[in-house]
Amino acid sequence: MHDPLTIHRRTFLGRSGLSLGGAALSGLLARDGLSAAISQVPRAGGASDRYPGAVYPLHHPPKAKSVIFLCLAGGPSHLETFDFKPQLAKLDGREMPESVTAGQPIAQLQGQKLICLGPRTSFSPRGASGTPVSDFFPALGGLVDNLAIVRSMVTEQINHDPAHTFMNCGTALSGRPSMGAWVTYGLGSEADDLPGFVVMTSKMGRNPQPIAARQWHSGFLPGQFQGVEFATSGAPVHYVRNPPGVSTAHQRDLIDTVAALEHHRLATLADPEIATRVKQYELAFRMQASVPQLADLSGETAETLALYGAEPGKATVGTNCLMARRLVERGVRFVHLYHSDWDHHGDIDKYMKEICPPTDRAAAALITDLERRGLLDETLVVIGGEFGRTPMGQGGKGAIGRDHHIKGFSMALAGGGIKGGIVHGATDDFGYNAISDVVHVRDLHATMLHLLGIDHAKFTVEYQGLDSKLTGVEPAKPVKALFA
Amino acid sequence: MLITFLWKRVLSRPPAAEERTLVKGLLDRRRTEFKADPKAAGELLAVGIAPRDKTLDPIELAAWTTAARAVLNLHESIARY
């Protein structure tokens, strides 16, 4: 628990009286942004001491200030959304050539006959770019000139939980920081009275898999960078109000006393998590005022509510997308939305017809609304799941669906320095393997960081003797073709 | 005396002098406040499902409730080392 170096550094900084963002120390601190983060403990009275971010100054001028990641959890079919495969339609009912699938990772179709399943919906050319988009996504199709569609995504994990972990942390091993934690650690937050990294979930359709809270964990980064989950139904944050009989001044006094007690303890123990707790209490106090304002949608016009399909008080994808806009408007750095459930092993027709309309409407509304408020330029929107679905049908007992698929799937990006109206990469004629301009999850992370002004290769934190990165140790590169 | 009891009960150690002073200050401020506003003390004491000992002075009990909130919310109380 006791790290003599931490004491030494803290003592040094305390005595030298230099501010942590000071240029004189930037060389020293560049290597040790972590201690910069943990040394900034709020003082009693709630004096503002905004953490400037570990990457300070940024590696290059940023295009995006914040990220909204709309995770279509469960693994949406690329073949019914963004990846038009007329050849697959012709092969419908025929056996999948073994040359394609031999030795490949297969989830539930293991040991079964692999039969091609053509697209279950029609596609239409949309926008000035004429990019074919599924008729399941009419509203997003209408915005195709704002979207960069990546059709060549690949991941390494074929089951939901590890695949989410891989998408979020760049590794299937749990216990490492989620991208939202990395980004907030690197850039800090511009919201003084809300967490820098907020998570919201919504679900519908078939019985969705749970999304574990460790998907937004801060791993080896200080706990203050962990995602904070807001509820959409009821109060966004439970127990945010003072108990009856406790005034705001009384609560302030209590928080100050706790902070003073913690500072006393911190001087003995030098445990950074004590500092995190003090910061969280301070933030929670400010959230007592900010959260009711955040959750109050009465200031939104009927037109806006209708655009999103938002229902105040209901945890729908529409309400959450509207909340995401309200969060980035208030300076929140990273909003991670999970909308379940896209895991259509069976009856893909029925479930897509249920889940696509509200998702399409909400996602398109988010882009439209950000744009008309002048926020789209500085907000990176990412839409996609943890993997895609097989070109082979999955029958079994009920109506047909598709299995998990990791060798080629699609994602859509918009705003924040993304070039609209383009398609990047391609899968083969089956929609099975990504064959050109393959974009690995690590490349997506490098791209996101680049747009935020961070060079992924330089963005490291020393952990267990290694310079750990979101993008890990294997090759990763920002996808420059996606940049505006 | 009671502050030491509170510390030992929650943290299994006696308070340091500075800690004792801090909590004593919080207690005194609440005593003054709840004395001036006994209705607030009553509202705070109505929280929770455990029955309240009616023989205790509600002003004292409400002030000590605040002291207990402080100590129960310390990192040392919550985290396992």
Confidence label for A114 from pLDDT (cuts 50, 70 and 90): very high
Query: Shortest CB distance from B75 goes to which of A1, A246, A277?
Result: A277
Domains contained in chain A, CATH given: 66-238+300-482 (3.40.720)
Q: What is the pLDDT of residue A205?
A: 72
Choose, out of A1, A252, A258, the residue to mutate when testing the contact with B (most B CBs < 10 Å). Answer: A258
Alpha carbon distance A325, A68 (integer Å) = 8
Contacts of B79 in chain A (CB under 8 A): 273
Question: How close, in Å, is residue B17 to chain A by CA atoms?
Answer: 11
Cβ distance of A250 and B30 shorter than 8 Å: yes
Neighbours of A88 (CB within 10 A): 24
Cβ distance of B73 and A258 shorter than 8 Å: yes
Contacts of A250 in chain B (CB under 8 A): 30, 33, 66
Query: Shortest CB distance from A258 goes to which of B41, B44, B70?
Result: B70
Q: What is the DSSP string of A52-115?
A: --SS-S-SS--S-SEEEEEEEET---GGGTT---HHHHHTTTSBPPHHHHTT---STTTTS--B
Cβ distance of B66 and A254 shorter than 8 Å: yes
Alpha carbon distance A239, A293 (integer Å) = 15
Q: What is the DSSP string of A387-415?
A: -EEEEEEE-SSSS-EEEEE-SSEEEEEEE
Cβ distance of A274 and B26 shorter than 8 Å: no
Alpha carbon distance A119, A129 (integer Å) = 22
Cβ distance of A264 and B18 shorter than 8 Å: yes
Query: A179-187 and A160-169 helices cross at what angle (nearest 10)?
Result: 20
According to DSSP, residue A483 is labeled: B
Cβ distance of A246 and B44 shorter than 8 Å: yes
Long-range contacts of A244-251 (CB under 8 A, 24+ apart): A244/B43, A244/B44, A244/B46, A244/B47, A245/B39, A245/B40, A245/B41, A245/B42, A245/B43, A245/B44, A245/B45, A245/B46, A245/B47, A245/B62, A246/B40, A246/B44, A247/B40, A248/A288, A250/B30, A250/B33, A250/B66, A251/A285, A251/A288
Per-residue pLDDT tens for A170-179? 999 989 999 9
Alpha carbon distance B45, B43 (integer Å) = 5
Query: Shortest CB distance from B79 goes to which of A258, A261, A273?
Result: A273
Contacts of A272 in chain B (CB under 8 A): none
Cβ distance of B74 and A265 shorter than 8 Å: yes
Domain that holds residue B64: 2-78
Q: How far is CA A320 from the centre of its chain?
A: 13
Q: What is the pLDDT of residue A47?
A: 42
Given a cut of 80, whether residue A307 has pLDDT beyond it is yes
Question: How close, in Å, is residue A250 to chain B by CA atoms?
Answer: 8
Question: How close, in Å, is residue A256 to chain B by CA atoms?
Answer: 10
Confidence label for A349 from pLDDT (cuts 50, 70 and 90): very high
Are the C-beta atoms of residues B31 and B59 closer than 8 Å to each other? yes
Total tally of structural domains belonging to chain B: 1
ipTM over 0.90: yes
Cβ distance of A244 and B78 shorter than 8 Å: no
Per-residue pLDDT tens for A189-236? 999 899 999 999 999 877 788 899 999 999 999 988 999 999 877 778
Given a cut of 70, whether residue A295 has pLDDT beyond it is yes
State mean pLDDT over A231-260.
90
Cβ distance of A246 and B40 shorter than 8 Å: yes
What's the whole-model pTM score? 0.87
Q: Which of A48-52, A283-287, A362-366, A408-412 is predicted least confidently?
A: A48-52
Alpha carbon distance A25, B58 (integer Å) = 54
